[in-house]
């Protein structure tokens, strides 16, 4: 059964998207472009902060970095698997199907908005930790917090990228819903170290989403998603 936290998070995204549509109508095209750049820069800084938190340590006032090999192996192996499967292609095909079924065939930005927003709100430790907590203990507070963050993110993204962002609620509903249902099986796997590694690699993927927003789509971030799985596996090696 899908948990209350997942429903709250999904609702937050939908409401944020609707608010973004209303807000976006008040903005000129140049304003929307500036807002898109702002979203990209914000994502890059969020991703950088998360990655640095996982890579940097302070001992006796000396800053040192690590996990370079972990990041390289996880991203390399994950991207190779993702390219073979071509996850990006299937995500875009689903976006194209949604565009037609929702009467947005003339919206050229729809698929890009859907893919970009979906990656932004699905990648991250909060979605996994919150869904597991919701499934095991019924504690949906983490997902409720994420709902507030996603409301703001999707509202801003919808204002600049378009209504395709609203439909990122679908992958979130499926992703978090499945984790909630399988929570009892996933909890032993998602140790503190596994979550740290997942957060580190996930932050790098969020940074890549930001790069695409600022400089146009240059990185197939969806094809890098298996890197998160390898990050969890690495915690047990």
Question: Does the pLDDT value for residue 57 go beyond 90?
Answer: no
pTM of the model: 0.88
Per-residue pLDDT at 236: 92
Question: Does the pLDDT value for residue 64 go beyond 90?
Answer: no
Mean predicted lDDT score pLDDT of the chain: 92
pLDDT in tens, 168-208: 999 999 999 999 999 888 888 889 999 899 999 999 999 99
Per-residue pLDDT at 129: 85
Q: Which two tokens stand for residue 105?
A: 């065939």
Q: Which of 161, 167, 147 is nearest to 35 (CA)?
A: 161
8 Å CB contact between 83 and 63: no
Nearest-Å Rg of the Cα atoms of the chain is 18
pLDDT in tens, 106-152: 999 999 999 999 999 998 778 888 898 899 888 999 999 999 999 99
Write the DSSP string, the chain.
---HHHHHHHHHHHHHHHHHHHHHTTS-HHHHHHHHHHHHHHHHHHHHHHHHHHHEEEETTEEEE--HHHHHHHHHHHHHHHHHHTHHHHHHHHHHHHHHHTT-TT-TTHHHHHHHHHHHHHSSHHHHHHHHHHHHT---HHHHHHHHHHHHHHHHHHHHH-GGGGGGHHHHHHHHHHHHHTHHHHTTTS-HHHHHHHHHHHHHHHHHHHHHHHH-S-S-GGGGTHHHHHHHHHTT-
pLDDT in tens, 80-106: 999 999 999 999 999 999 999 999 999
- Give ∠ CA 39-40-44 in degrees, rounded to 5: 115
Per-residue pLDDT at 197: 94
Q: Which two tokens stand for residue 125?
A: 């430790």
Confidence of residue 219 (pLDDT cuts 50, 70, 90): very high
Q: Which two tokens stand for residue 120?
A: 């932004």
The residues, any chain, with a CB within 8 Å of residue 198's CB and separated by 6 or more, are: 125, 128, 190, 228, 231, 232
8 Å CB contact between 129 and 144: no
8 Å CB contact between 2 and 178: no
pLDDT in tens, 24-34: 888 888 888 89
């Amino acid at each position: 059964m899908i948990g209350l936290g997942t429903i709250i998070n999904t609702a937050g995204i939908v409401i944020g998207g609707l608010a973004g549509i209303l807000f976006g109508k008040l903005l000129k095209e140049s304003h929307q472009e500036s807002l898109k750049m702002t979203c990209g820069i914000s994502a890059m800084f969020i991703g950088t902060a998360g990655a640095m938190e996982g890579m940097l340590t302070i001992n006796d006032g000396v800053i040192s970095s690590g996990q370079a090999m972990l990041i390289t192996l996880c991203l390399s192996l994950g991207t190779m698997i993702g390219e073979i499967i071509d996850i990006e292609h299937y995500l875009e095909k689903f976006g194209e199907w949604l565009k037609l079924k929702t009467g947005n065939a003339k919206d050229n930005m729809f698929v890009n908005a859907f893919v970009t927003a979906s990656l932004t709100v699905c990648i991250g430790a909060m979605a996994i930790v919150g869904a597991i907590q919701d499934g095991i203990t019924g504690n949906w507070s983490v997902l409720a917090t994420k709902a507030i963050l996603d409301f703001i993110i999707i509202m801003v993204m919808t204002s600049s990228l378009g209504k395709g962002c609203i439909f990122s609620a679908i992958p979130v509903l499926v992703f978090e819903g499945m984790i909630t249902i399988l929570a009892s099986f996933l909890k032993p796997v998602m140790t503190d170290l596994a979550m740290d590694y997942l957060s580190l690699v996930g932050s790098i993927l969020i940074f890549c989403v930001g790069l695409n927003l600022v400089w146009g789509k240059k990185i197939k971030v969806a094809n890098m998603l298996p890197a998160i799985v390898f990050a969890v596996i690495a915690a047990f090696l």
